[in-house]
Amino acid sequence: MSFQKTRGIGWLLFMILIMFFAFLFFAIYTIKSALDGTQLAELGAKNIKDLIGVVEVKGVIMESQKVVENLISAEKNPKVKAIILRVESPGGAVAPTQEIYQEILRIDKIKPVYASMGTMATSGGYYVAAATRKIYANPGTLTGSIGVLMQFMDLSKLYDFVKIAPETLKSGDYKDAGNPSRALTTKEKELLNSVIKGVHQQFVNDILRVRKDRIVGDLTAHAQGQLFSGESARKVGLIDQEASLWEAGREIHRELKLQGDFQLLYVKIQKKGFSLMNFLDSVEESSSSIKQLLSLKDIPLFLYRNDLNGIVVN
């Protein structure tokens, strides 16, 4: 009986070991595939000549480097004759959003840049799309939410309840504005509101910079943080045309009279080869992104925060 029990445990350990190595192999293969090099993944056609590059802006915009690198890769690729910015984003931090916007303006002088909106392109997602020469969206795309958000938590009552009394030493009246142990003062609210209004005006100005002649009515009326469907956004001039990514691509291919079959190429710069250092860099980068996402409440944001049931934003 004891021998059978020992043999059973041995088999169990053996199976666990096999599963562990299978998982390890799968993980290494997946990471290697992700890091292995290539810039472009093709979607079918045989007579390939002139191509349309697709650069994705996905998720909360935390930094600009990856998107900008992919834009530059598409710009420098001689086969890519036009670029579509594919936006699936609720927005994000202000500065990286503006950096992507500026890079699109620069590249569009060299190669035409268009935008295609997927499920959601709100706030900062709309901001980057507004830099392109033409915006396509699906009728049911969620867009707009043109505004700036900054949130703080007043936990003073909770601190009182648990009998915690934080003490803050500071230089400058505004240095601890947003301290969760107390409410904002009137002066702090005035200061932060002035910052938000200034950044909001930058948002409005950058939309008008490209789309002034296409906006219907007063843009300020459309820039109060409200959502638009793709259909309603077209009616007020926030987008140009209702079309899917592929419909947009085919139209661009025809209008630019590109040679060869219609072809979309997803542009993505990836690290060459697999190494422990590359893997650790990726882990560190993911960890950093999570930390930044958790700290977003304390800075001005071009971000749509969703409380609607049934719609997952971020």
Question: Does some domain include residue 290?
Answer: yes
Question: Does some domain include residue 167?
Answer: no
Check which CATH number belongs to the domain holding 210 and give it. Answer: 3.90.226.10
Full domain range(s) for residue 126: 37-147+203-303
Mean pLDDT within 39-68: 79
Provide the percentage of residues in the chain whose pLDDT is more than 90: 52
Its sign, for the CA torsion 7, 12, 18, 21, is negative
Question: Does some domain include residue 215?
Answer: yes
Residue 312 has pLDDT above 50, yes or no: no
Give residue-wise pLDDT tens across range 129-145: 999 999 999 999 999 99
pTM over 0.85: no
Which carries the bigger pLDDT value, residue 226 or residue 158?
Answer: 226
Give residue-wise pLDDT tens across range 24-45: 655 554 444 444 433 444 444 5
Question: Does some domain include residue 47?
Answer: yes
Number of domains in the chain: 1
Question: Does some domain include residue 73?
Answer: yes
Which residues lie closer than 8 Å to 304 by C-beta, 6 or more apart? 90, 91, 120, 122, 123, 125, 142, 145, 227, 313
